[in-house]
Amino acid sequence: MKTGTYSFTRKVKGIQRIVINGGYYSDISINDTEEIIKEKEEDRMYTLKMYNLDWPLFVLEIDTSNIPEEKVAITKTIKDKSNTLLNNDKETKVVPVIKRNGQVITNTNTNNVGHRANNDELLTYTWNELPKTDDTYTDYNYEVTFDISGLPEGYSIVPNTKTTDNQADFNITYVSPKVTVSKEITVNGGDKEVLPNKIDVRIENNRGLISVNKKARLNTEKTAYVVSESLDKTTTSADEIT
C-alpha cells in the first residue's frame, strides 16, 4: 500500500474526493495469439488504454472540516496622555477601525469587533479569532487605526514610540483650542480728555477657573475701552469655557 501527504493550494470546504488511479481494463482478447498480445503490449498507447477515470481503482476522501484554520489575535493599546478620557463617556468616542489588506472589516462577528479593557492607564482593544491567511494561504495584512472624530476639538492621536515608561501603541493628547475674546467697556459721561489710555480688567469664566487679568485700551473715539485676548476655548477636561 502506498502512503503519501496530500496538500491543497487553496482552502476547501466539505469532503474532498481524490481519484488516486483509474480503473484497469484490457483490450486483449482470449483468442489473441501471442504475437498479437505482444504487439498490443508494445503499443505506446496501450498504457493509456489501461486506465479509465470512469472506473476508479480506489478513491481517497478527505474531510476538510477536521483541518484547523489558523487564527490570530491582535491587541492595540492607547495611553491617554490628556488624562480626560478614562471612565467617562468620552472614551466611547474612541472608535477602533481594523483593516484587512487595506479594507475596513465591517462584517466580523462579535469576537472580531474589538473589546476594550480599562486598566486605569490604558485603553486596550483586542480582536480574537481573526483568520491568518486567505484562500490561497497568503498571510493577511491587518492594520488598526482609531477614529476620534467624535471627540471635542483639540484631541489628537498618534503612533507611540515605545519606551520603558510607555509601551502603548498610540498616544492621545489634548491641547485646548484657542478662542478670541473681545469685550468693550462703554464710557458714559465725564471729561474724555482726562481718561487714561489703559485700565485693568478681569475676565472670568463659567468653569470656576482662575480669572485672567488684562489691560483694556481706550479706543480712538474715546467712547469705550476694548480688550481682545486669545484664551483657552475649553478646560483640560475638554469642557467649553464661556
Q: CA-based angle 215:218:222, to the nearest 5?
A: 165
Which range in 2-11, 116-125, 176-185, 204-213 is most confidently predicted, on average pLDDT? 176-185
Predicted confidence at residue 160, as pLDDT, reads: 93
Evaluate if pTM is beyond 0.85: no
Q: CA-based angle 174:175:176, to the nearest 5?
A: 115
All domains of the chain, ordered by start, with CATH? Answer: 15-65 (no CATH), 71-174 (2.60.40), 178-232 (no CATH)
Strand, helix or coil for residue 22? coil
Bridge partners, 50 (sequence order): none
Strand, helix or coil for residue 191? coil
Q: pLDDT for 78-91, tens place per residue? A: 998 888 887 778 88
The proportion of the chain whose per-residue pLDDT surpasses 70, expressed as a percent, equals 67
Quick one: cell of 221? 473715539
What is the rounded distance in angstroms from the CA atom of residue 80 to the CA atom of residue 109? 28
Top pLDDT among 169 and 44 is at 169
Q: pLDDT for 182-239, tens place per residue? A: 888 888 877 888 889 998 988 888 887 788 888 989 898 899 889 988 888 888 777 8
Question: Are 17 and 61 within 8 A, CB to CB?
Answer: yes
